[in-house]
Amino acid sequence: MKSDSKFLSAPYTVWMTVFIVLPMLLVGYFAFTDKSGSFTLENILSVGQYSNVFLRSIWLGAVATVVSLGLGYPLAYIIAKMNARRQNVMVMLVMLPMWMNFLLRTYAWMTLLEDNGLINSFLGALGLPRIHMINTAGAVVLGMVYNYIPYMVLPLYSVLTKIDKSVIEAAQDLGANSREVFLKVVVPMSMPGVISGVTMVFVPAVSTFIISKMLGGGGNLLIGDLIDMQFLGSAYNPNLGSAVSLVLMVIILICMGIMNQFDDGEAAGGGMLL
């Protein structure tokens, strides 16, 4: 039985070794070597000069995550309260944009947001002043929210539908009005969904490069763009690129660690704070 399951997992083990573990080791190797292949800490140390890029990435990623949560939570809550047939339709609508190519979706936003794009043409036709939207931090956040919000809504929805109706009734029965039911029962019980939604939006948002490239212009360089430039761009330097990737990985790991800590605390004795 045991050998059977080992045998079944072999293809994935091989896959993981070749395409995940090996590349990671390579990233580590490049990060700590220079062009001639000898050991150096220079790459890691020079990451410090890009701290503004890191901060901007984390800041924009965080803003996009908060906006996604703010929009996604009410949506997931409303969907979870619908009857089963409508729920299926709504979940499909949430996922529908994901069926379209990621690049195409982002291009679509470009044509909408451009100075001579659809929105500005429309405003102009109405005689209203045009708004500069493309190549701003706001446009990057918009792109992130638009692309990643399904990853926020789906885990929230799945947690919210699983909340037992009798638990809600128990809270009402014990004297909680609808606001108190929401704050003291629904929100704490949906925390696991919030955590996974936040993780699933924040991580790709922080490391994205195509969104900032297309909607942010040159002025909103993110870590993703920085790494991209080291490998494919003008500033070809895979060693520095690897070092930046490594630091980014560590930062994301720390962020996730903090989030999970928060989740555990909530489950064990978080109620004491009420």
Partner 1 sequence: MKNTIISLKDITVSYDGEQVLGGFNLKIHDGEFVTLLGPSGCGKTTALRTIAGFIKPDAGDVFFYDKNITSLPPHKREVNTIFQKYALFPHLNVYNNIAFGMRLKGCSEKKIKETVHRMLAMVDMTGYAHRGIGQLSGGQQQRVAIARALANEPKVLLLDEPLGALDLKLRKDMQAELKKIQQQTGITFVFVTHDQEEALSMSDTVVVMDKGMIQQIGTPTDIYNEPENAFVADFIGESNILDGVMLEDYSVKFAGHIFHCLDGGFGSNTPVDVVIRPEDIKVVEPESSLITGEVTAVTFKGVHYEIIVDVAGFKWMIQSTECRETGDRIGLSLTPNDIHVMAKSEYSGTFGDYSTFSDEMGEDKNASSEALAEEEGSADEI
Task: Please report, as ranges, the residues that interact with partner 1 according to CB under 8 A.
Answer: 164, 166-167, 169-177, 180, 184-185, 188-189, 191, 266-272, 274
C-alpha to C-alpha distance for 220 and 4, rounded to whole angstroms: 52
Q: Which is nearer to partner 1, 189 or 249 (CB)?
A: 189
Residue 185 carries which DSSP code?
A: I
Q: Which two three-digit tokens encode residue 274? A: 């009420």
3-state helix, strand, coil in the chain (%, to 5): 80, 0, 20
Four-residue CA torsion sign, 236, 239, 242, 247: negative
Q: How far is the CB of 85 from partner 1 (least distance, A)?
A: 15
Q: Give the shortest CB-162-to-partner 1 separation in angstroms.
A: 11
Residue 200 has a CB neighbour count (10 Å cut-off) of: 18
103 or 174: CB nearest partner 1: 174
The nearer residue to partner 1, 34 or 266, going by C-beta atoms, is 266
Helix/strand/coil for 33: strand
Nearer to partner 1, 27 or 191 (CB): 191
Q: What is the smallest separation between the CB atom of 79 and partner 1, expressed in angstroms?
A: 22
Instruction: Give the nearer residue to partner 1 in terms of CB position, either 92 or 167.
Output: 167
What's the min distance (Å) between Cβ of 170 and partner 1? 4
Half-sphere exposure at residue 27, Cβ-oriented, CA atoms within 13 angstroms:
19
Minimum CB separation of residue 76 from partner 1 in Å reads 18
Q: How far is the CB of 86 from partner 1 (least distance, A)?
A: 17
Taking the least distance from each CB to partner 1, the nearer of 114 and 266 is 266
Q: For residues 161 and 82, give the distance between their C-alpha atoms in angstroms, rounded to a whole number.
A: 10
43, 32 Cβ separation under 8 angstroms: yes
| Cβ–Cβ under 8 Å, residues 266 and 191 | yes
Structure token pair of residue 261:
């800590």
Question: Tell me, what DSSP letter sits at residue 177?
Answer: -
